[in-house]
Amino acid sequence: MKALSAREAKYNFGRLIDTARAEPVVIEKHGRPVVVVLAVEEYEKLTGNAVPPSRDKPAETNGD
């Protein structure tokens, strides 16, 4: 599992996302782990909950 400081995560957010899609990433603040960023698929496996669709995308309709 990879670890990044909060500052590294902030300034390299794209890299954080790319890495988290492959493996969980621990984010540390003041040298202590505070959160873990992981791929949606891993989250869904751990919780058994599907992530709701993004609110940024228009809702799909079935043509009714």
Q: Cα 28 to the chain's mean position, in Å? A: 15
Domain ranges across the chain = 2-47
Q: Model confidence over 21-52: pLDDT tens digits?
A: 999 999 999 999 999 999 999 999 999 888 88
Nearest Cα neighbor of 41 from 21, 61, 25, 57 is 21
pTM for the model: 0.74
The CATH classification number of 2-47 equals: 3.40.1620.10
How much of the chain, in percent, has pLDDT values that exceed 70?
88
